[in-house]
Structure 1
Amino acid sequence: MSATHPASPASSPRIRVGSAPDSWGVWFADDPAQTPWRRFLDEVAEAGYAWIELGPYGYLPTDPARLREETGRRGLSVSAGTVFTALHRGPAVWEDTWEQVARVAELTRAVGGRHLVVIPSFWRDDRTAELIESPELTAEQWRHLTTGTERLAREVRERFGLGIAVHPHADTHLDTEAHVERFLDATDSGLVDLCLDTGHYAYCGGDSVKLIETYGERIGYLHLKQVDPAVLADVIAKGTPFGPAVRQGVMCEPPRGVPALEPVLAAAAKLDADLFAIVEQDMYPCPPDRPLPIARRTRGFLRGCGL
């Protein structure tokens, strides 16, 4: 993928780099296999990052005053909160969806965040990898997804002053280049931005540079991630679900995987936009001493890319 794009470092003061609980093996609000939240905050600051995402609601303190104190004394600021939604299921899920979105949006706004990353729900169970829905949406479900997302974006903007960035993700209905383009073409560019996760997009066969060059006005947020091409080939050949693929090591630290991040960041730097570029290396579960050295190396690599 990256071979078609000449690598060149990006240097843009309009791209702010950060990391997330995901890079410390955090997928759930409460799980004994995960890094404790105080250790995450200590280590993400130690690694040289100034920005973080909230991760699963309830992992970090949900009292805004306490969270501001804990992040502030470590020199950290919050860029975004994250929610999972199942808007393709139609109006019947709206009330439950809004209840969880509103609490995350409220906390995000209270601690100074400006974005809400919205991830479509998995069609596999996120713990067992059991198939729970068809991987393909019907035409009606596509309409529910697009109109529901526009409604969500409008409500979040009006009530909380946040912008949403929808995150294509492996094992969701928004994954491949065709699905992402269909979604973008069917949603209002004035309401709905995209969170481009370079690793997930590569995992699903997409070209991040091409997406930025084609739909640059829709890129509102970045997740920086790479996939190991050898592991990915095995995952694709065997049809391995995403959770087991992560445990197999499909996501890797840069610059060991694809896509090459230098051309991605160079393309993003040309956009007329202020962007967050948040490192997210999926590795749930992982030994407690593994994340910090990776985070330090990744931060150093990104400095070499001009961030």
Structure 2
Amino acid sequence: MTTPAPRPSSPSRPAAPSGPSRIRVGSAPDSWGVWFPDDPRQTPWRRFLDEVAEAGYTWIELGPYGYLPTDPRVLAEETGRRGLRVSAGTVFTGLHHGPAVWDRTWEHVASVAALARDTGARHLVVIPSFWRDDKTGEVLEDATLTAEQWGHLAAQTERLAREVRDRFGLRIVVHPHADTHIDTEENVTRFLDATDPGLVSLCLDTGHYAYCGGDSVELIKTYGERIGYLHLKQVDPEVLAAVRAQGTPFGPAVARGVMCEPPRGVPELAPVLAAAEALDVDLFAIVEQDMYPCDPERPLPIARRTRGYLRSCGV
């Protein structure tokens, strides 16, 4: 009797390991239209915590420092009684400027890292500074780094990783982001190739990577050992084509709806999650649907539907 050959897996949906998922799903203030520590158009922080728990999530990020309480005891009480835990804090850096910006950078990083550590998080999401203003579109610096600036970016990121690890016990995950110098496939791979895998991992944001023309599944396949964290997000292809053609800055593009509710956009998240599962490592996958500004009644229904959709993807 001849044993039938196993059916090959679809190349767009890598086979995930059997057993419980090692991906822990959460959401972030961003999905409630929160971009700033304080803004009257944003959802109040208590409402965010209530609604993110109601939507079925157990993990959250801190969001912009100062939006949630910065006293770790208060924050632990507020999250704990809602059944929530903190996965990461977020910082913005301009490390390509070299050692001259270190002291100012570290002052900001240390505050966020301390709160993340004290609330039980193990990651710090590092976002590069924007080369143009995300509101006005004003060009702040050249969109292309020089060789010297690439050297500063790599060296100072490794320095940041060591300091954050040694002082706070956290691992940094660098977030490729639209309108920054770590954005396209070319720039992401150049950054990864220039930094120490033992120190620097990536926060792969599926929406930002698609916004800049990248393929998340291929990045996971090629640089799987560097993927330390996920942000789950989709872009609307029609809006994206329009904002690219018009050279629209990222902030106004978000206001036009370039980041959309899954599964209405790209990339398809099921193959991304399958590729991530195939790595067989523990990963956070935090939903981060940019919606600033937005009506405060919008986020909760979207969050509920998104959580249900992700369950249909196996996480």
TM-score by length of 1: 0.97
Of 220, 228, 246, the match for 1:220? 228
2:275 alignment partner, SS class = helix
> What letter matches 1:141 in structure 2?
Q
In 2, the alpha carbon distance for the partners of 1:195 and 1:50 equals 19
In 1, the alpha carbon distance for the partners of 2:11 and 2:247 equals 27
Check conservation: 1:8, 1:263, Cα contact below 8 A.
no
In 2, the alpha carbon distance for the partners of 1:43 and 1:136 equals 40
Check conservation: 2:38, 2:66, Cα contact below 8 A.
yes
Tell me what 2:219 maps to. Answer: 211
Shift of 1:4: 7.3
Q: 1:240 to 1:275 in 2, by over 3 A?
A: same
Shift of 1:273: 1.5
Q: 1:239 to 1:126 in 2, by over 3 A?
A: closer
Tell me what 2:185 maps to. Answer: 177
Tell me what 2:241 maps to. Answer: 233
In 1, the alpha carbon distance for the partners of 2:155 and 2:164 equals 14
Tell me what 2:3 maps to. Answer: none
In 2, the alpha carbon distance for the partners of 1:88 and 1:290 equals 37
In 1, the alpha carbon distance for the partners of 2:258 and 2:274 equals 25
Bigger shift: 161-170 or 265-274? Answer: 265-274
Tell me what 2:12 maps to. Answer: 5
**Unpaired runs of 5+ in structure 1?**
none
- Superposition pairs for residues 1-307 of structure 1, below 5 Å? 5-6=12-13, 12-307=20-315
Bigger shift: 117-126 or 254-263? Answer: 117-126
Shift of 1:127: 3.2
1:299 alignment partner, SS class = helix
Q: 1:246 to 1:6 in 2, by over 3 A?
A: same
Shift of 1:13: 2.3
Bigger shift: 122-131 or 23-32? Answer: 122-131
Larger Rg: 2
In 1, the alpha carbon distance for the partners of 2:188 and 2:209 equals 9
Shift of 1:9: 8.4
TM-score by length of 2: 0.95
**Unpaired runs of 5+ in structure 2?**
1-9
Check conservation: 2:235, 2:266, Cα contact below 8 A.
yes
2:163 alignment partner, SS class = helix
Shift of 1:56: 0.2
> What letter matches 2:185 in structure 1?
E
Could you tell me the percent identity over the aligned residues? 78
In 2, the alpha carbon distance for the partners of 1:31 and 1:201 equals 27
1:194 alignment partner, SS class = strand
1:133 alignment partner, SS class = coil
In 1, the alpha carbon distance for the partners of 2:228 and 2:144 equals 26
Where do 4+ consecutive residues of structure 1 move more than 4 Å?
6-12
In 1, the alpha carbon distance for the partners of 2:236 and 2:48 equals 25
Q: 1:7 to 1:273 in 2, by over 3 A?
A: closer
> What letter matches 2:172 in structure 1?
I
Q: Say how many residue pairs are matched.
A: 305
Aligned-pair Cα RMSD in Å: 1.4
Check conservation: 2:259, 2:290, Cα contact below 8 A.
yes
